[in-house]
Amino acid sequence: MTAPAGDNKTPIVEFRGVTIRFGSFTAVSDLSFKVSVTPDQGEFVTIIGPSGCGKSTLLNAIAGFLKPTQGEALVMGEPVQGPGRDRGMIFQQYSSFPHLTVLQNVMFGLRLNRRKIGLDRSSMRSRAEELIAQVGLADHMHKYPGQLSGGQQQRTAIARSLALEPRILLMDEPFSALDEPTRLEMQELLVELWHRVHPTILCVTHSVAEAVYLGQRVWIFTQAPGQIAYDIMDCIPPSVGIPPLVAQERTEFKNAVYVVTEAFRRVSEGSTKDTAAESKPPEPRDST
């Protein structure tokens, strides 16, 4: 797996005054932000906000599934024209091909992009097997999605996306259909993969604890039309190498959850009218 290229001056994702309307309904209004990459690491941004505030719409605009009504959505400095290999999308519902085995699902994307990736047949197969092992499915690679648990299906979707080495991974509530133990396992796997593979990740979740555990940066959206009310970074502790249940017991994690929960509460009550740049998250609680 390769790290993002060294150009850290151009944001990897940038919105400039993006408004998205569906008929007369405005889902996202005049949204501007930048997500940058450091020389060897993409950011991990988690996004929470009230239902219907435009989170999926935002991801769909980055993925190229829909175009802004006004403003510009840029990926690596270029306006998004449509979906591309540089962006992988993982949905809440499992999105693997039901008629293909785990191995065939992972090989599918590789095969489509074989020329661009520059791999011969046997290298493709080893790449696919390596990814399947990385997501813990080595013993299941010849099964079909219908023969897998929810967590295993979501691992397949992650492996399939990672096979293309996307610089940007877009995840829309990827673990919300999973039971709690599987969800915790997947959270740890994702943090570990992010640390190792270095993509930029934008991940929507409904869970504050999940947002704090996964992300380095948490965006809280306002009610529709969606705006970033809070962009919280400073108090989010690193979680690489720390299982979620261990992380959740730590004071800095609890403080971050408090800060994000309070900010989310304000947004849900509609009590923030500030713009993203002006908004300040609540102060962490004194833990002494």
Ligand X SMILES: Nc1ncnc2c1ncn2[C@@H]1O[C@H](COP(=O)(O)OP(=O)(O)OP(=O)(O)O)[C@@H](O)[C@H]1O
Among 29, 46, 56, 101, binds Mg ion (CB under 5 A): 56
Tell me the residue type at 46. T
> Binding residues for ligand X, how many (CB under 6 A)?
12
Segments of 117-194 assigned E as strands:
168-172
Q: 240-279: which residues touch ligand X (CB under 6 A)? A: none
- Cα–Cα distance list, 88 to 140, 167, 198, 273 (Å): 23, 8, 14, 33
Q: What is the C-alpha to C-alpha distance for residues 112 and 94, in angstroms, rounded to an integer?
A: 20
From Mg ion, ligand X, none, which one binds at residue 127 (CB under 5 to 8 Å depending on kind)? none
Using CB under 6 A as the binding rule, the residues of this chain from 6 to 35 that contact ligand X are: 22, 25, 27
Instruction: Please report how close the Cβ of residue 51 comes to ligand X at its closest, in angstroms.
Output: 3
| Residue where the block lists tokens 């829909």 | 66
Nearest to Mg ion of 59, 197 (CB atom): 59
Residues recorded for the chain: 288
Is 97 near ligand X (CB under 6 A)? no
Say which entry of ligand X, Mg ion, none residue 97 contacts (CB below 5 to 8 A, set by partner kind): none
x/- site string to ligand X, residues 199 to 238, per CB under 6 A? -------------------------x--------------
Q: Which is nearer to ligand X, 18 or 128 (by Cβ)? A: 18
* Nearest CA among 256, 181, 157, 258 for reference residue 215: 256
* Rounded CA separation 142/104 (Å): 8
Query: Which residue number, 56 or 272, has a Cβ lying nearer to Mg ion?
Result: 56
Let me know: does 194 contact 116? Beta carbons within 8 Å. Answer: no
List, in sequence order, every residue forming a beta bridge with 141; answer none if it has no partner: none
Cβ of residue 56: shortest distance to ligand X, in angstroms? 3
Site string for ligand X, 35-64 (x = CB under 6 A): --------------x-xxxxxxx-------
Query: 3-class DSSP state for residue 269?
Result: coil
Binding residues for Mg ion (CB under 5 A)? 56
